[in-house]
Structure 1
Amino acid sequence: MKFMPELPEVETVRRGLAPFIEGARIESVRLNRPDLRFPFPQGFVDGLEGQTITHLGRRAKYLVAALSGGGVWLSHLGMTGAFFVADQRLAEPSRLKPGEAGGKHVHVVADLVHPSRGRVTLSYSDPRRFGFMDLFAPGTANPFIDPLGPEPLGNDLSAPYLADRLKAKKGPIKTVLLDQRVVAGLGNIYVCEALHMSRIDPRRAAGALNEREIERLVAAIRQVLEAAIAAGGSTLKDFSQADGQPGYFQHSFAVYGHEGDPCPRPECGGVTGRIVQAGRSTFYCPVCQH
C-alpha cells in the first residue's frame, strides 16, 4: 500500500521543525546531488544562504518557509522524505529520524544559527527521491500554492463554501474532495475516513449532496484531521515519529485498509468494502454510507 504523507503528517513535521529553524539564519547550504523529483532551481543555494527563516508554515501538503528577504522556500516530502536536526529528538512527533546525518540518502544539508539554540544542522533525507524543493523570489507566482483551495482546518472552509463548489460537480464526492483546488491538503486516507464519519456514499455525485450532508461532511473533515494531528499522523510505509516509532492514527481508522472487516458502528452490521475510484482505493461501508 503506497502512502504519500497527507496534511496531518506534514503538519506534524512542521510542528517538530519550527522550534529549531524559525528565527534561524542560514549560514550555508550543501546539495549532495543536483535533483530530487525535480532538479533544484538555478540559484537555489545562493538564494538561501544569508537568509533568515522568519516562519515555517504549511499549505496543504507543502512545508513553506518564509525568508527574511521576502522569498519562499517550499518543500514536499514525497513518500520517503524526512528532515532532521542533528541528533536532537523533537518535541513533537514527526518523520525526523535522529542519527541519519551521515546517511547515503541525505541530499541537502543546511547549517543554521538559531538565536537561542545556537548552531543547528538541518538535513533532508529521501531514499526514493519523490520529494522536491523549490525557491520563489518575492512576489513571483507559485504554481504549487496559488491554485489551492482553502485549508480544511481554517475558517475559509465552511458548509456554504463547499456547497457552492460542489453544486455543479457531477463526479463522485470522493474524487471531488481529492481535487486540491476545491479543498487543499485532503488525501485519500482522510477523505475515506471523513466520508464514513459523515455517512456519505463515496460514489454519490458531489452536486447531489444536500445542505445537511455537507454540514456533516465539513464537521467530519475537521474532526478526522484534528484527531490525526493529535495522534502524530498515521504510519504506512515510511512515516514515523521523531524517535523512529510510528504515528498512531492508523489504529483509529474506521474503514481505510479494513476491507472485509465489520463496520465499526455497532448498530450498522455492514462489512467494509473496497472500490477503485480514479485509480485510488476507496474504503467504505455500503450499509451506513448510502
Structure 2
Amino acid sequence: MPELPEVETVRRGLEPAMVGRVIARADIRRPNLRWAFPENMAARLTGKRVERLRRRSKYILCDLDSGETLLIHLGMSGRMTIAPLDGVAGDILGDFHHLHPAPAKHDHVVLDMDDGTRITFNDARRFGAMDLLDTKTAENHKLLASIGPEPLGNHFDGDYLAARLKSKNTPIKTALLDQNIVAGLGNIYVCETLWRTGIAPMRKAGTLSKKRVESLVPAIRDVLSEAIAAGGSSLQDHRQTNGELGYFQHSFAVYGREGEPCQNDGCGHSIKRIVQSGRSSFYCPKCQS
C-alpha cells in the first residue's frame, strides 16, 4: 500500500500537468473501483478547471472550480500516469483524443486536459477509489474526518505526540501506524524511524519517556523527506507519474533486511523480523530497546 512519500510523489508529479488546466473530457470506463463511482462523475468533471492539488494522509485531493473536490486513493496497485500530446491538438473538443493510444485494460479513469495531456488512473487490482466531495466540507468526509495531523506539518510536534502516546498500552509500532494519531505513516517508514531512534517496535508506547517520544518527530520528518526526495519506495507496484521507479528502497536500514548486518558502526548484530498485527517489523535487537 503506498504510504505518504509515494502519494506525495504522485501529487507533485500531477501538479504541473493539472493545476490551472481544464478537464476537457473525462472518460469513466467502469462503474466502480473499491466502491461505486459518484453519480454522473464524468459530467461533473468535464469542463472543470483544476484549482489546487493537495494531499491529506494517503489521499490526493483535486479541488475544482465547481466547488467539488475529486478524492483519489491509489489502493494497492493504483497508478497515475501522464501522457503528453503526440502531435498538434485541434480546436474541436475530442480532436486530440485520437492522438493518444487506446486506453489499456486496467485504465479505469482517463482525464484529457485542455492542452491535450492525458491523465490516466490505472489499477489492476481495483483496490483504489475515487469520490467527489463538497470542497468546503471535504475535511468532514468519513475517510478524512478522524485523521491525525500531517507529520510534516506544524501541528505535529513532541508535545502533541507525547500526549497522544502517554496512556497507550499498544506497541509503539502499532501506535505510529494509527492514522488517528498521525497521518500517512505506513509499515516501511515506521520501521526505519524506530531504527533511527533506537526504539524497539514491540516497546509499549506509554512506557517511553517524553524525551524518547520527542526524538521520533524529527526522525519521522527526516525519513519521510528523504523518501519523497527519492521518489518514494518501489517494492511492487509504485511508479512515479512518469513511469519511473522510486529509489528510497535502496536506502533502507532495516526494512526487508532480515539476517543482514545492522548498519550502525560497531553493532555487529543482524536485523531480525517479527510479525505485529499481521505485518512484518524489522529491527536490530542490540540497537533498539
| TM-score, structure 1 as length reference | 0.90
Q: Which moved more, 1:40-49 or 1:164-173?
A: 40-49
Unpaired stretches in structure 1, ≥5 consecutive residues: 89-98
State the partner residue of 1:111: 112
Q: Deviation above 3 Å: which 4+ runs of structure 1?
A: 138-141, 241-245
For the Cα contact (< 8 Å) 1:26–1:110, is it kept in 2? yes
Alpha-carbon offset, residue 266 of structure 1: 1.3
Partner of 2:250, secondary structure, is: helix
For the Cα contact (< 8 Å) 1:101–1:123, is it kept in 2? no
CA distance in 2, matches of 1:205, 1:224: 22
Q: Which moved more, 1:234-243 or 1:4-13?
A: 234-243
Please tell me whether residue 76 in structure 1 is matched to residue 73 in structure 2: yes
State the partner residue of 1:94: none
In terms of fraction of residues, the more helix-rich structure is 2
Please tell me whether residue 27 in structure 1 is matched to residue 28 in structure 2: no
State the partner residue of 1:92: none
Q: Which moved more, 1:31-40 or 1:158-167?
A: 31-40
CA distance in 2, matches of 1:171, 1:144: 23
Read off the aligned partner of 2:72 and give its amino acid letter: S
Unpaired stretches in structure 2, ≥5 consecutive residues: 86-99
User: Taking structure 1 as reference, are residues 50 and 10 closer, same or farther at Cα in structure 2, changes over 3 Å only?
Assistant: same
Read off the aligned partner of 2:202 and give its amino acid letter: R
State the partner residue of 1:203: 202
CA distance in 2, matches of 1:125, 1:100: 14
CA distance in 2, matches of 1:42, 1:289: 51
For the Cα contact (< 8 Å) 1:85–1:121, is it kept in 2? yes
User: Taking structure 1 as reference, are residues 87 and 68 closer, same or farther at Cα in structure 2, changes over 3 Å only?
Assistant: closer
| TM-score, structure 2 as length reference | 0.90
State the partner residue of 1:8: 5
Alpha-carbon offset, residue 39 of structure 1: 1.1
State the partner residue of 1:67: 64
Read off the aligned partner of 1:128 and give its amino acid letter: R
Larger radius of gyration: 2
Read off the aligned partner of 1:160 and give its amino acid letter: D
State the partner residue of 1:91: none
For the Cα contact (< 8 Å) 2:13–2:240, is it kept in 1? no
State the partner residue of 1:102: 103
1:21-63 deviations in Å (ceiling 9; x for gaps)? 0011122211111111111122322322232110001111111
For the Cα contact (< 8 Å) 2:78–2:121, is it kept in 1? yes
Q: Which moved more, 1:102-111 or 1:223-232?
A: 102-111
User: Taking structure 1 as reference, are residues 245 and 53 closer, same or farther at Cα in structure 2, changes over 3 Å only?
Assistant: closer
User: Taking structure 1 as reference, are residues 250 and 101 closer, same or farther at Cα in structure 2, changes over 3 Å only?
Assistant: farther
